[in-house]
C-alpha cells in the first residue's frame, strides 16, 4: 500500500549509506536529494574536497619550503598552479559522488531528485509529486552557522564560509579565520601552505574545543610554530567590506579595547547547525530541541510514528563516520529490529599536519568520573617519526585506575587519523592498557607510540 518500504531524505553519508544498506536488506528504498550530485556535504563541499586541498597543498609546501631538498630532491623555481589543484579537487569529488550514483543503481535505490517536504508522516512531496513509505528517515544534515554582522558572500569571495574557502580562485594575501575549530584549522592550513598570511580569531582561550586539554595546548604551540597567527580569547564584533577588502573589529572575549584587522579574505567557521528548513516538520508535529536538533531514541525513532532521523541533524558529533554508522544501524533496526552504534567510541580527527585525533574521554572528563592512570609517549622518541623528521606530538592513553580499562586515547602525529583506529577497536573490545601494551606492533611504525603510551600507563615505556 506504500510506494516504498523506506524513504531517506538527504543523500549525505547518513542517508546514502542507510539507503544502500536498507536495499541490501531487501526493502524497497528511495533517497531524496536536492543537490545535483549525491554524497551530501561530506563528498561535495566537506570531507573530500577539503582533504584533496590539504593533500595537494602539503605537496606544494614540501616542494616550496625546502622539505624535499633534505632528501636530495632538487627542484627549480617552485610555482603554484592553483587551477590544477582545484581541478584535482573537482576530480576527486566527481569520482566519488558519481560512485554513489553507481552504487544506488547497483543496489536498486531510487534517487528522487528535488527538495523533500513532509505532507504527512508517511508522504514526502518531491518536485510536486507525492511518494509514500512505511518509514521515512530524515538525514538532512547540517549547514553553516551564520555570525550576525559578518555576512557571508561566497560569490564575492571576501567573506566566505567553508564552501567558499574550498573554491578560492586566488591565494589571499591575508586570510582571517573566525573560529579555531576543525574547519578553521584545516582550511587555514591549506591557504597558509599555499602562501597566505593566516590569522585565526578564536573566542575561547584554546583551539579545538571538545578535544583533550593537553592536545589543545599542544595544538596552539604547533600552529604558532607553523606561522599561523592566533588570537585566542578574542571575538569579532563587526565586519565591513569595501571592494575586495574586509575590515574586522575584534575585542577580547571578556571585554576590553577593540582593534581592527584588515583582510582580503575572511572565513567564517564557527560551527554548523542542523538543517531542517523547508522540511515541513510542523506538518507532522515534530519539534526540534533548543539546538535545532531532532531528538531520537536509541533506534533513531522520533516522537512521530514511522519517522526516524540520523546524522548531523540529531545530537552527537557532526562527523561523516558517525552519520554512516547511524545509516547502517537505522537500516538494520528497520529491517531486523536490531542495530548497533557505540556512541562512546566515535573517533575524531583534524587532518592538518600533524593530525590531531582522539577517541573516548578526554583526561578532564575521565578525571571527573573517577580515578585514572595516564600514559604518554612523545613522537620525538618514536623511531619512525624521528627518521621522517616528524617530531611533533604524542600519544596519550587514559585508563581506569582500578580496572585498567582504556577510557580514551589521544594522538598528535602525522598519521594520527590512521593510528586512532587501533584505539577505537581496542576500546570497542573493552581492552585494558595492558592489552595494548602486550600487542605486538610492527617496527618501525608511528603506531608503536600507542603501545609505548599504553606501557607508560603502568610506568614502563622502553624508549623514554
Q: Catalytic residues, which ones?
A: 443
Q: Which stretch binds ligand FAD (CB under 6 A): 82-90, 133-141, 434-442, 447-455?
A: 133-141
Q: Which does 390 bind (CB under 5 to 8 A by kind): ligand FAD, ligand NAD, none?
A: none
Shortest Cβ 356–ligand NAD spacing (Å): 9
Among 112, 137, 160, 178, binds ligand NAD (CB under 6 A): 178
Residue 85: in which H helix or E strand, if any?
helix 82-107
Nearer to ligand FAD, 235 or 275 (CB): 275
Site for ligand NAD in 136-165 (CB under 6 A): 147
Count other C-beta atoms under 10 Å from residue 436's C-beta: 25
Using only C-alpha atoms, what is the Rg of the chain? 23
Strands (E), 258-371: 259-263, 265-268, 272-274, 307-309, 348-350, 355-360
Determine the Cα–Cα distance for residues 31 and 16; give it in Å rounded to an integer.
7
β-bridge partners, 413: 355
Task: Work out which of 12, 15, 184, 188 binds ligand NAD, going by CB under 6 A.
Answer: 184
Nearest CA to 434 out of 411, 408, 450, 457 is that of: 457
Residues making up the chain, counted from first to last: 464
* Size of interface with ligand FAD, in residues (CB under 6 A): 36
Beta-bridged to residue 161, according to DSSP, are none
Q: Which stretch binds ligand FAD (CB under 6 A): 94-102, 140-148, 354-362, 370-378?
A: 140-148
Q: Which is nearer to ligand FAD, 139 or 207 (CB)?
A: 139
> Exposed e or buried b for every residue in 194-210, given b needs 16+ CB within 10 A?
bebbbbbbbbbebbbee
Query: Which residues share a beta bridge with 65?
Result: none
How many CB atoms neighbour CB 75 within 10 A? Answer: 10
Q: State the virtual CA torsion across 37, 42, 46, 48 in degrees, nearest 10.
A: -90
Query: Within 198-237, which residues bind ligand NAD (CB under 6 A)?
Result: 201-204, 209, 235-236
Of residues 244 through 303, those in contact with ligand FAD by CB under 6 A are 275, 278-279
Does 33 participate in binding ligand FAD (rule CB under 6 A)? yes
Using CB under 6 A, which of 96, 121, 309, 350 touches ligand NAD?
350
Q: Nearest approach, Cβ of 176 to ligand FAD (angstroms)? A: 17
Coil, strand or helix at 292: coil
Specify whether the CB–CB gap between 372 and 366 falls below 8 A. Answer: yes
Interface size with ligand NAD, residues (CB under 6 A): 26
Of 56, 141, 180, 358, the one binding ligand FAD by CB under 6 A: 141
Nearer to ligand FAD, 187 or 399 (CB): 187
Label residue 462 exposed, middle or buried (CB < 10 Å: 0-12, 13-18, 19+).
exposed
C-alpha span between 327 and 320 (Å, rounded): 10
- Least separation in angstroms between residue 325's CB and ligand FAD is 11
Torsion of CA 111, 117, 123, 125, to 10 degrees: -60
Question: Percentages helix, strand, coil for the chain, rounded to the nearest 5?
Answer: 35, 25, 40
- For every residue of 231-280, DSSP letters joined together read ETTEEEEEEEEETTEEEEEEEETT----EEEEESEEEE-S-EEE--TTS-
Residue 180 in contact with ligand NAD, rule: CB under 6 A: yes
d(CA 453, CA 448): 9
CA dihedral 76→81→85→86, nearest 10 degrees, is 180
Binding positions for ligand NAD, 260-319, rule CB under 6 A: 269-272, 317-319
Closest distance of CB 166 from ligand NAD, Å: 11
Which of ligand FAD, ligand NAD, none does 9 bind, CB closer than 5 to 8 A by kind?
A: ligand FAD
Q: Binding partner of residue 41 among ligand NAD, ligand FAD, none, CB under 5 to 8 Å per kind?
A: ligand FAD
Among ligand NAD, ligand FAD, none, what does residue 98 contact (CB within 5–8 Å per kind)? Answer: none
Cβ proximity to ligand NAD, 143 vs 432, nearer residue: 143
Residue 270 contacts which entry, ligand FAD, ligand NAD, none (Cβ below 5-8 A, type-dependent): ligand NAD
Rounded to a whole number of angstroms, the minimum distance from the CB of residue 282 to ligand FAD is 14
The stretch near ligand FAD (CB under 6 A) out of 28-36, 172-180, 377-385, 388-396 is 28-36
- Pull the grid cell for residue 390: 616528524
User: Per CB under 6 A, does 319 bind ligand FAD?
Assistant: yes
**Window contacting ligand NAD (CB under 6 A); options: 11-19, 183-191, 212-220, 331-339:** 183-191
- Note the residues at the interface with ligand NAD (CB under 6 A): 147, 178-184, 186, 201-204, 209, 235-236, 269-272, 317-319, 349-351
- Note the residues at the interface with ligand FAD (CB under 6 A): 9-15, 32-35, 40-42, 46-47, 50, 115-116, 139-142, 162, 183, 275, 278-279, 311-312, 318-321, 323, 351
Amino acid at each position: 500500500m506504500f510506494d516504498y518500504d523506506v524513504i531517506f531524505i538527504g543523500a549525505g553519508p547518513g542517508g546514502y549509506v542507510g539507503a544502500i544498506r536498507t536495499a541490501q536488506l531487501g526493502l524497497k528504498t528511495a533517497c531524496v536529494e536536492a543537490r545535483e550530485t549525491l554524497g551530501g556535504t561530506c563528498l561535495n563541499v566537506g570531507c573530500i574536497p577539503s582533504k584533496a586541498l590539504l593533500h595537494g597543498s602539503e605537496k606544494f609546501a614540501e616542494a616550496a619550503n625546502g622539505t624535499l631538498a633534505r632528501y636530495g630532491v632538487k627542484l627549480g623555481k617552485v610555482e603554484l598552479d592553483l587551477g590544477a589543484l582545484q581541478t584535482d579537487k573537482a576530480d576527486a569529488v566527481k569520482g566519488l559522488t558519481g560512485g554513489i550514483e553507481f552504487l544506488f543503481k547497483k543496489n536498486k535505490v531510487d534517487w528522487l531528485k528535488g527538495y523533500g517536504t513532509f505532507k504527512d508522516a508517511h508522504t514526502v512531496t518531491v518536485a510536486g509529486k507525492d511518494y509514500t513509505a512505511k518509514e521515512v528517515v530524515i538525514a538532512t544534515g547540517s549547514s553553516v552557522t551564520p555570525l550576525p554582522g559578518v555576512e557571508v558572500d561566497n560569490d564575492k569571495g571576501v567573506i566566505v564560509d567553508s564552501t567558499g574557502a574550498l573554491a578560492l580562485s586566488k591565494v589571499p594575501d591575508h586570510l582571517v579565520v573566525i573560529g579555531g575549530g576543525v574547519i578553521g584549522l584545516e582550511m587555514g592550513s591549506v591557504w597558509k601552505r599555499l602562501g597566505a598570511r593566516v590569522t585565526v580569531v578564536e573566542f575561547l582561550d584554546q583551539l579545538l574545543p571538545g578535544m583533550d586539554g593537553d592536545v589543545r595546548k599542544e595544538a596552539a604551540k604547533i600552529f604558532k610554530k607553523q606561522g599561523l597567527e592566533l588570537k585566542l580569547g578574542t571575538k569579532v564584533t563587526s565586519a565591513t567590506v569595501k571592494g575586495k577588502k574586509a575590515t574586522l573589529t575584534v575585542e577580547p572575549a571578556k571585554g576590553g579595547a577593540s582593534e581592527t584587522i584588515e583582510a582580503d579574505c575572511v572565513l567564517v567557521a564557527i560551527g554548523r547547525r542542523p538543517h531542517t528548513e523547508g522540511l515541513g516538520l510542523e506538518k507532522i508535529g515534530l519539534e526540534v530541541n533548543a539546538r535545532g536538533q531532532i531528538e531520537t531514541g536509541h533506534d533513531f525513532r522520533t516522537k512521530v510514528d514511522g519517522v526516524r532521523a540520523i546524522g548531523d541533524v540529531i545530537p552527537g558529533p557532526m562527523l561523516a563516520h558517525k552519520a554512516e554508522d547511524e545509516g547502517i544501524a537505522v537500516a538494520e533496526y528497520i529491517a531486523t529490529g536490531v542495530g548497533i552504534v557505540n556512541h562512546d567510541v566515535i573517533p575524531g580527527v583534524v587532518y592538518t599536519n600533524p593530525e590531531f585525533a582522539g577517541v573516548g574521554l578526554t583526561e578532564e572528563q575521565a578525571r571527573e568520573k573517577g580515578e585514572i592512570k595516564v600514559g604518554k609517549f612523545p613522537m620525538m622518541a618514536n623511531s619512525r617519526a624521528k627518521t621522517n623528521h616528524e617530531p611533533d606530538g604524542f600519544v596519550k592513553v587514559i585508563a581506569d585506575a582500578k580496572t585498567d580499562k582504556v577510557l580514551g586515547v589521544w594522538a598528535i602525529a602525522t598519521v594520527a587519523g590512521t593510528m586512532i583506529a587501533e584505539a577505537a577497536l581496542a576500546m570497542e573490545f573493552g581492552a585494558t592498557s595492558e592489552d595494548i601494551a602486550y600487542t605486538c606492533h610492527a617496527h618501525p611504525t608511528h603506531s608503536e607510540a600507542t603501545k609505548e603510551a599504553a606501557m607508560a600507563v603502568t610506568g614502563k615505556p622502553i624508549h623514554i
